[in-house]
Amino acid sequence: MKARITVLPGDGIGVEVTTAAVDVLQKVASRYGHEFEFNEALIGGIAIDKTGTALPDETLRQAEQSDAILLGAVGGYKWDNPSAPVRPEQGLLKIRKHFGLFANLRPVKTYPALAQYSPLRLDLLDGVDMLFVRELTGGIYFGSRQEQGDGDSAYDTELYTVPEVERIAHIAFRAAQGRRKKVSSVDKANVLASMRLWRKTVTKVHEDYADVQLDHVLVDSCAMHLITRPASFDVLVASNMFGDILSDEASVFAGSLGMLPSASLGAERIGLYEPVHGSAPDIAGQGKANPTGAILSAAMLLRYSLSLEAEAKAVEAAVEGVLDGGARTADISARGSSYLSTSEFAQAVKDKI
């Protein structure tokens, strides 16, 4: 297979982890007889510095000619000003909207070799393997907003339409069919009108998936149950804000935020793949970044945009294999013990493929 992949390293450790992910993808191409072409482009803070915008037109043009997009992270201390007219995160929101990437998939699982690094009791972590399906282009993040007067009041509108909820619900139910056939729909239907529409619509879509169990869970209860019985969840489908918050909460199950990948998908084949973590400017350039989230995001790229399931599984198995073998990066190593650099960990994964 021939494929063109746009690489957006972004800021901070984004450069290091995308380099690691590209190295692994190159090994996959060599091992399985594929031809992957990688082209870098600007996004985030570095794009602001060089072009004055967080997402240059040239980046969009290049991405439009690609089969998939691999992203590192955006932002950092240098651009940490919420009131600035141009901010790094604007690039991320714009590229999602440009490609209609309405579904964010965030798998979270506990690796037995890393269970000790989670703050939860070991018995609670047994069997934790869940998938968050987060609606990505609607809800309060994209609703109308206004700050009144001299900043004495402000509002942000939570808005969802039936078609928006229908399409994300279909993604969740289809995902569950390939897993343990259980969907937990997260809402706040006892208080919010938008969430009553959410629950009604998800219930209607469920009629097309008789083989999948559906539970409705209030967001506050879900936050509690994630900590008290995380292994009971399979697929969770949630609004933009609820999915954002809950998936970050669940990151503790993996032992480190650096472990988690994500895929942002739409109606077309192209997708955007990125680790869940941020740019971590405090460790940028030191070789301390954990590339696992980026490498597993590359595995999702292989699965969802290139339809290379065997290759995706090979990458995931290689990651699990090196972790079982004792390979550790700085964030998942015991205090005072030695650890692998970002590139060394990536090399260990490549050697396992």
Q: Which residues are catalytic?
A: 141, 188, 220, 244, 248
Tracing tokens 């907003």 back to the chain, one arrives at: 145
Which whole-number Å values give the CA distances from 106 to 40, 260, 272, 333, in the listed order?
Answer: 24, 7, 12, 24
Report which of 187, 192, 197 is spatially closest to residue 160, judged by C-alpha positions. 197
Q: In angstroms, how far is the first alpha carbon of the chain from the final one?
A: 18
SS (H, E, C) 35-70: EEEEEECCCCHHHHHHHCCCCCHHHHHHHHCCCEEE
70 SS3 class: strand
Q: How far is CA 219 from CA 142, 188, 203, 347, in A?
A: 20, 6, 17, 40
Which residues have CB under 8 Å from 127's CB, separation 6+? 110, 231
Q: Is 129 helix (H, G, I), strand (E, B) or coil?
A: strand
The radius of gyration of the chain from alpha carbons, rounded to an integer in Å, stands at 20
The single-letter DSSP state of residue 78 is G
